[in-house]
Amino acid sequence: MVKEIERAGIPVVHVCTVTPISMTVGANRIVPAIAIPHPLGNPALEPAEEKALRRHIVEKALEALTTEVEDQTIFE
């Protein structure tokens, strides 16, 4: 899906836990997530901390979208 969105001309960032799969699939902007069943969360944290963590990942995703890339890039 990420490749088809890119092909349509819309910049897209892939937020996912297993980044090697994302590389294989062909995503160009990749942001690593926390875990497979909760990519943008961590149930072990307090709700406020968890939301801060999610915000951090979303900010990374926005940073990826505003960064020019020439090739597949993982934004650690």
Partner 1 sequence: MAKIKVVHYINQFFAQIGGEEKAEYPAELRVGEVVGPGQALMQTFGDEAEITATIICGDSYFNENLDKAKAEIVAWVKEQKPDVFVAGPAFNAGRYGVACGTICDAVQEELGIPAVTGMYEENPGADMFKDKVYTIATANSAAGMRKAAPLVAKLALKLAKGEKVGASVEEGYMPNGVRVNFFEEERGSKRAVKMLLNKLADKPFVTEYPMPSFDHVAPNPAVKDITKAKIALVTSGGIVPKGNPDHIESSSASHYGEYDIAGVMDLTAETYETAHGGYDPVYANEDPDRVLPVDVLRDMEKEGKIGELHHLFYTTVGNGTAVASSKAFAEEFSKKLLADGVDAVILTST
The tally of CA atoms less than 13 A away on the side-chain side of residue 70 is: 0
Q: Which residues contact 48 (CB under 8 A, 6 or more apart)?
A: none
Name the CA radius of gyration of the chain, rounded.
13
Q: Which residues contact 36 (CB under 8 A, 6 or more apart)?
A: 17, 18
Q: Which of 49, 67, 74, 76 binds partner 1 (CB under 8 A)?
A: 67
Among 46, 48, 49, 58, binds partner 1 (CB under 8 A): 58
Q: Which of 4, 46, 48, 76 binds partner 1 (CB under 8 A)?
A: 4
Q: Minimum distance from CB of 75 to partner 1 (Å)?
A: 12
- The footprint of partner 1 (CB under 8 A) covers 1-18, 20-22, 24-26, 28-29, 33, 35-41, 43, 51, 54-55, 57-58, 61-62, 65-71
